[in-house]
């Protein structure tokens, strides 16, 4: 299974005057979980960019079930939901202990430095398959 | 029609190392358009909060068709898609001149200071209907 | 005088759970005022970057006299305090109507794409002098 | 000595189109180090707020010696520079391994929920003195 998780501690800066985490910040945490997953796969995102591959966000969504607050310690889980990987779909859960606060999704494609959609690098596909146990 | 738009100029802070606007920032611009719409309706959001009504984001999504860049001048349009307004659905478009760069959606409900879902204030419903031409 | 100002309306995203603007956000507004000043001088920052010149922030500071709140409409004034311009010093004031809420300062130098400090482009110096009325 | 440190990993969201960390983000990391220091002292900031004490930022500054980049793993050190603590002065260093990238400072005072400057809670003073080894 292509999955990973990171721990985040809610920063004061991430709250708003409602006293809860501003909704857009969850997408930054989703990013942190993706970066971790790429690390675990052996394809750190910074290396991909050095090789001329970018993984911009094509779409994203989130459902906010329950608010997170300042200083909460949260777990952000990501799971790649599809193989092969021409259009990558990642699903997310943000948990405070056992409680799911937020679920979400992002989709991505590999693009070149010029912004053209390209095939995923073969090294990436191989490592993804190996990590997924295929 | 319940709609409004604001102009935004892309800040350097809103870009990332890909040289484009970081995707999560669009949700902040969606917020700016919502605030403008509430102003036009005669129900400024700050007044709603003073009366004890909050409009948190229950869900959001966006599709990124084409990137925006530093210093771009963009139009962010919002339209409330449903009446009555127990669960408010807002649709968005971000345009650079005639080109649609991003589309999106947010849903909201009125909640009390204690976080309970409540009916929209009757003054709000009345003004929304009037503004919508109903 | 090398000065300019922009109007900003405080976004919900810019507040924190204390109900006021999170302090770091003022630096983003300082940036917006600088960008405006470069525009007025006839040297838009995006053109400078296209010509290979960057103006990173070398240092910054701010004094917070009084908090700004959600939906406040503020004026952010910038003034370049020194000529010639090897090391650019910019001073700022953030006002709500007549009240000064925040004062600040940033320093900058021109650097090349490789990150080396370079002389300011001569076109820039000329336009700065003209704009300053020298 | 009243000091603490946290590790941060640079998020993509924290970079800008210059390919480096946007300067204002360091202040958010300074905050993370302060929060950690209060934890170590036995006075978590969330408890202070529950007791009606707030520690807003009265002033801040930073000197940027060398840029940080995406995915850098940094150490953010904070040290309280003065006792007693009517006006708290905190100094910071951001390091990448042995290299100091940024130095900074923030000042704070305790204020009540109504925004009035108040004496630090006696429990806080006691714990600070004990932690400082006085």
| ipTM value for the complex | 0.95
Count CA atoms within 13 Å of residue A95 on its CB side.
Answer: 12
Q: Which residues of D touch C68 (CB under 8 A)?
A: none
- For residues A68 and A11, the answer to whether their CB atoms sit within 8 Å is no
- Domains, in order of start, for chain B: 3-131 (3.10.129.10)
Q: How far apart are CA A43 and CA A130, in angstroms?
A: 12
Report the neighbours of C using a cutoff of 3 or more CB pairs below 8 angstroms.
A, B, D
Q: Which residues of B touch D16 (CB under 8 A)?
A: 12-13, 15-17
Count CA atoms within 13 Å of residue A7 on its CB side.
Answer: 6
Residue of C nearest to B46 (CA): C71
Chains A–C, number of C-beta pairs less than 8 Å apart: 29
Q: How far apart are CA D103 and CA D82, in angstroms?
A: 17
Q: How many CB atoms lie within 10 A of CB D113?
A: 11
- When mean pLDDT is compared over A3-7, A111-115, A127-131, D78-82, the highest value belongs to A3-7
Q: Which of D13, D17, D20 sits opposite B70 (nearest CB)?
A: D17
Examine the pLDDT at D84 and tell me if it is beyond 70: no
Q: Which residues of D touch C23 (CB under 8 A)?
A: 27, 56-57, 60
Read off the tokens for A31.
Answer: 């990013």
Q: How far apart are CA B82 and CA C20, in angstroms?
A: 32
Examine the pLDDT at B133 and tell me if it is beyond 90: no
Q: How does the average pLDDT of chain D come out, rounded? A: 95
Residue of C nearest to B47 (CA): C71
Chains C–D, number of C-beta pairs less than 8 Å apart: 50
| B46: confidence class by pLDDT, cuts 50, 70, 90 | very high
Which pLDDT does position D68 carry in this prediction?
98
Q: Do B17 and D13 touch (CB under 8 A)?
A: no
Examine the pLDDT at D98 and tell me if it is beyond 90: yes
Which pLDDT does position D19 carry in this prediction?
95
Q: Which residues pair with D64 in a beta bridge?
A: D102
Q: How many CB atoms lie within 10 A of CB A86?
A: 13
Q: Which residues of A touch B20 (CB under 8 A)?
A: 56
Q: How many CB atoms lie within 10 A of CB C98?
A: 6
Segment D48-66 shows an average pLDDT of: 97
Which pLDDT does position D134 carry in this prediction?
66
What is the per-residue pLDDT across A52-80, written as a single tens digit (0 to 9) for each?
Answer: 999 999 999 999 999 999 999 999 999 99
Q: Which helix (H) or strand (E) holds C28?
A: helix C25-41
CB-based contacts of A48, cutoff 8 Å, min separation 6: A38, A54, A55, A121, A124
Segment C31-58 shows an average pLDDT of: 96
Percent of chain C with pLDDT over 70: 98
Which pLDDT does position B84 carry in this prediction?
66
Segment B7-23 shows an average pLDDT of: 98
| A7: confidence class by pLDDT, cuts 50, 70, 90 | very high
Segment A76-87 shows an average pLDDT of: 86
Q: Which residues of D touch C64 (CB under 8 A)?
A: 56-59
Q: How does the average pLDDT of chain B come out, rounded? A: 95
Which of these, D72, D60, D95, lies nearest to D21 by C-alpha position? D72
Peptide bond into D84 cis (omega under 30): yes
Q: Which of C18, C28, C64 sits opposite D24 (nearest CB)?
A: C28
Which pLDDT does position A124 carry in this prediction?
92
Segment C111-133 shows an average pLDDT of: 90
Examine the pLDDT at B73 and tell me if it is beyond 90: yes
| B100: confidence class by pLDDT, cuts 50, 70, 90 | very high
Examine the pLDDT at B134 and tell me if it is beyond 70: no
Residue A68: DSSP 8-state: -
Q: Do D71 and A13 touch (CB under 8 A)?
A: no
- For residues A76 and A33, the answer to whether their CB atoms sit within 8 Å is yes
Q: What does R_g of chain D's alpha carbons equal in angstroms?
A: 16
Peptide bond into B90 cis (omega under 30): no
- For residues A107 and A57, the answer to whether their CB atoms sit within 8 Å is yes
List the single best residue of C17, C19, C20, C27 to mutate versus D (max D Cβ within 10 A): C27
| D11: confidence class by pLDDT, cuts 50, 70, 90 | very high
């Amino acid at each position: 299974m292509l999955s990973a998780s990171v721990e985040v501690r809610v920063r004061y800066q991430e709250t708003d005057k409602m006293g809860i985490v501003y909704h857009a910040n969850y997408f930054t945490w989703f990013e942190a979980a993706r970066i971790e997953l790429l690390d675990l796969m052996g394809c750190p995102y910074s290396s991909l960019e050095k090789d001329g591959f970018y993984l911009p966000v094509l779409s994203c969504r989130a459902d906010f079930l329950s608010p997170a607050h300042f200083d909460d310690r949260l777990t952000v889980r990501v799971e790649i939901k599809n193989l092969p990987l021409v259009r990558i779909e990642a699903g997310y859960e943000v948990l405070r202990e056992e409680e799911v606060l937020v679920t979400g999704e992002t989709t991505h494609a590999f693009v070149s430095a010029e912004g053209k959609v390209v095939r995923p690098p073969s090294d990436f596909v191989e490592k993804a398959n190996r990590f997924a146990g295929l």
